[in-house]
Structure 1
Amino acid sequence: MSSTTVVGAKAVRPRTATATDSARLRWGRRLQHGGWFVAPFFVLYGLFVIVPVVRGLYLSFTDANISGDHTSFIGLSNYREALKDPLVWDSLWHSVQFTLEVVPCIVVVALLMALIAHHTVHFKWLWRLCFFAPFLLPSAVVGNLWWWLFQPTNGMVNHVLGLDTPWLTQKSTAMLAVVIATLWWTVGFSFLLYLAALQNIPQHLYEAAELDGANAFQRMLHITVPNLRNITGLVFALQILASLQVFDQAVVMYQFGPGPEESTRTFVQYTLEQGFTSYRVGYASAISFILFLIIAVVALGRMWLLRNREEGAAR
């Protein structure tokens, strides 16, 4: 029997499946089996992330105040004002300064801590617990703890080091105090990443190098460091993105103020001051989107470097 069906005077052949149909079928099966499981996440993500972001973007083009009354569209005026505002640039520099100081310290200290926890023989669980435990503390606890530790008269830092330094009241040490507190608080996360990466390095590489006469430093230089290259890039990227948004610990340590001579006022803190102290919600939204663009550029730059490195390795 012919596969052709005669309809009137024309012959209609059955349509063959195309690549588009196959792709549509695969996506249909995936949505059928897993769509209902991820649907609650997408609903909540849309309500609490997408909608506020879109709303904030709209407000950045208005002169909205905190009450929401008499809002009018003013175009790019907020962005032009922000680019001319010296406090925007000062607070941005404070965030960048903090990032430049804390990120290299976290990378180096986290790697050293991971090496200690990985190569120690006794009480491995205790080393890991001690290194990671501070990361579990809330930011308010960390800020108040280090506020007390940095007190000039009865603080533990000056007492142990034999100093009389007013850490929190002079401009030269104000940001350094925030860096030290942040290093102690957040290094545990990067330590965990490095520890997991160290455990994934094949042991036979070290054994072969040891048989060839390589000492501990040579094994570290030619085996450990190259195998940790990707995780080091990840740690750098994550810490840069987090450090540019520094707010909690600095605000708590300086009793919700900008620090001595406004030396610790960060970009996020200035944004909140404009929104909830000066009641300029539209202007604060514009400032926040400037920070969003900076963070997006950093993230895209990281992705571009990683892709180029992978393409170079593939060649």
Structure 2
Amino acid sequence: MSIATAPEGADRRAPAPAPPPANPLRRTRGNNLAGWAFSAPFLVFFLAFLIGPLVYGFYMSFTGKSLTGANDELLGLANYTEAFGDPDMWHSLGNTLYFTVISTVPLVIIALALAALVNMGLPAQWLWRLSFFSPYLLASTVVSLFFSWMYNPQLGLINDILSKVGIAPVAWLNDPNIAMWAIVIATVWWTVGFNFLLYLAAMQNIPQQHYEAAALDGAGGWRQFFSITLPQLGPTTVLIVILQILASLKIFDQVYQMTAGGPAGTTRTIVQYIFESGFTGYRLGYSAAISYVFFALIVLVSIGQFFITRRRSV
């Protein structure tokens, strides 16, 4: 039995050794450095314009700092003690919570109704979507000026319509019992389009097979809506409610531009009171203390949001 040998002239050199594998630790380190390099511009602005002012504002809340430059020494908890005993702060906070409650409910219900209406398959859906969402794109100044003219007791369109049906003119922005509701109406018209889009997107993601199966079982439109659509919209509703509460707690623009907190402080919100304490009363330290009291309230709402969403996901 013969043994096969390599032909004459064949290359008998040993194969070249494979290159050593790249060091994964070095590659990871290089990727981390590149990531930090790309993130550096954002981090610089984040530290300079968010974290820095946040820390300095917290320090300032323990001082008597003023726009006049006087009395900048440390006061300890004096500003917080004064804030908790300040009836104007509690009144402003109560106005804010009142606005949050009476605005969140219609902003959820009306958005749901508009989304259900468009989702029914109306013709020219792009026009309905544009009509419902376009007010959200307007600036707060435009909306405030528009509704200020609409609410004008002598020249406003709303009172003109009411007079034609025999109803006396209403002082929409000058009546303490009505002014906040007038601001809520303007806010709902302005911002409901965002919630409408969220609901519409969620409705269009519901599998059509659910409705087909329900129809085969004899379920009508209302039954399908309450048994299929609403349960499927549960996570979206929770998201919208939480976002709306957080947005309503921070209301400032339309109130300041339409009523400036009047009449008699019935529409003055906590953000406006913070602004007035710091830039009208020149008490920056006290204004910072109220800001952090309000910040604590926002944190509590956010913690509640976390537990609610986690419970629903379990």
Q: Would you say same fold, with TM above 0.5?
A: yes
The separation in 2 between residues aligned to 1:119 and 1:41, in whole angstroms, is 44
In our comparison, the structure showing a higher alpha carbon Rg is 2
The separation in 2 between residues aligned to 1:214 and 1:183, in whole angstroms, is 33
Which residue in the other structure is 1:270 paired with?
273
How far 1:199 sits from its partner (Å)? 1.2
Which residue in the other structure is 2:118 paired with?
117
Superposition map of 1:145-156 within 5 A: 145-156=146-157
Which residue in the other structure is 1:47 paired with?
48
> What amino acid is aligned across from residue 59 of structure 1 in structure 2?
M
The separation in 1 between residues aligned to 2:120 and 2:60, in whole angstroms, is 54
Is 2:157 the partner of 1:172? no
Q: Paired residue for 1:292, among 288, 292, 295?
A: 295
Q: TM-score, normalised by structure 1?
A: 0.87
Q: Which moved more, 1:143-152 or 1:64-73?
A: 64-73
Q: TM-score, normalised by structure 2?
A: 0.87
Q: Number of aligned pairs?
A: 288
Q: Paired residue for 2:217, among 207, 212, 217?
A: 212
Which residue in the other structure is 2:15 paired with?
none
Which residue in the other structure is 1:253 paired with?
258
How far 1:29 sits from its partner (Å)? 6.1
How far 1:120 sits from its partner (Å)? 3.0
Which residue in the other structure is 2:17 paired with?
none
Alignment deviations for residues 173-218 of structure 1 (CA, whole Å, 9 cap, x no partner): 0100110011011111111111111111111111111111111111
Which residue in the other structure is 1:62 paired with?
63
The 1:198/1:30 distance shift into structure 2, 3 A limit, reads farther
Alpha-carbon RMSD: 1.8
> What amino acid is aligned across from residue 77 of structure 1 in structure 2?
A
Is 2:201 the partner of 1:200? no
The separation in 2 between residues aligned to 1:26 and 1:125, in whole angstroms, is 49
Give the 3-state SS of the residue equivalent to 2:226 in structure 1. Answer: helix
Which residue in the other structure is 1:223 paired with?
228
> What amino acid is aligned across from residue 193 of structure 2 in structure 1?
G
Which residue in the other structure is 1:15 paired with?
none
The separation in 2 between residues aligned to 1:126 and 1:96, in whole angstroms, is 35
Which residue in the other structure is 2:144 paired with?
143
> What amino acid is aligned across from residue 178 of structure 2 in structure 1?
T
Give the percent of matched residue pairs that are identical in Structure 1 and Structure 2: 45
How far 1:47 sits from its partner (Å)? 1.5
The separation in 2 between residues aligned to 1:194 and 1:25, in whole angstroms, is 47
Q: Which moved more, 1:85-94 or 1:147-156?
A: 147-156
The separation in 2 between residues aligned to 1:202 and 1:36, in whole angstroms, is 44
The separation in 2 between residues aligned to 1:238 and 1:28, in whole angstroms, is 38
Which residue in the other structure is 2:16 paired with?
none
Which residue in the other structure is 1:99 paired with?
100
How far 1:30 sits from its partner (Å)? 5.3
> What amino acid is aligned across from residue 223 of structure 1 in structure 2?
I
The 1:30/1:117 distance shift into structure 2, 3 A limit, reads farther
- Unaligned stretches of 5+ residues in structure 2: 1-23
Give the 3-state SS of the residue equivalent to 2:171 in structure 1. Answer: coil
- Unaligned stretches of 5+ residues in structure 1: 1-21
Alignment deviations for residues 107-133 of structure 1 (CA, whole Å, 9 cap, x no partner): 001111111222233110010001011
> What amino acid is aligned across from residue 256 of structure 2 in structure 1?
V
